[in-house]
Amino acid sequence: MACRRLSLVCSNDYTLCINVDGNVLSCGNSFYGAHENEEKQVSQLKIISSLTKVNSLSTGLAHSVCVDFEGNIFTFGSNVYGQLEINADRDTLRYTYLPQKVNLPPCKQGSCGNNFTICLTEEGELYSFGYNASGQLGIGNNESYYNSPRLIPSLKDVDFV
């Protein structure tokens, strides 16, 4: 399947792209479902049927985030550090290849670090979740991880992540 590319992102082992119709396609290798396929290895681009009208996407080490045109955030892949924001700890759900809707106000962008996620709302606020042992969530502490979104209070009126 060809991907007339609108946007393309790559991690170490997998690739996601958005075609001109707003569909997401994926290929590569992921033991944690970060390319949204139950199969570990996908050698040709494969459409992700549950994601439509996607505006932007990002990949981390083993997880992905997508934002649709309505401002909904969807995450999938590894949840070892709560980077999917699905209110399930790593003992309950270590990973999922099925996109999970994140409970946030409408967003215009999502960005992945290795094991954390930051989302930018349409109002210019930033929310972060996932791995935080070095304080990379920007919330003022270094608790090891958070599996629910935390507002980054020191940053306001942000345009781009």
Domain residues of the chain, as ranges?
Answer: 5-151
* Token digits of residue 77: 């892949």
The second-level CATH assignment, the architecture, of 5-151 is: 7 Propeller (2.130)
Residues 28-41: pLDDT tens digits? 887 777 666 667 78
Which residue type occupies 101?
K
Instruction: Give residue 35's pLDDT.
Output: 63
- Pick from 9, 2, 59: nearest CA to 33: 59
Q: Would you report the helix, strand and coil content of the chain in percent, each value rounded to 5?
A: 0, 45, 55
- Measured CA to CA, the distance from residue 159 to residue 154 in angstroms comes to 14
115-130 mean pLDDT: 96
Instruction: Give residue 37's pLDDT.
Output: 64
Count other Cβ atoms within 10 Å, centred on residue 136.
16
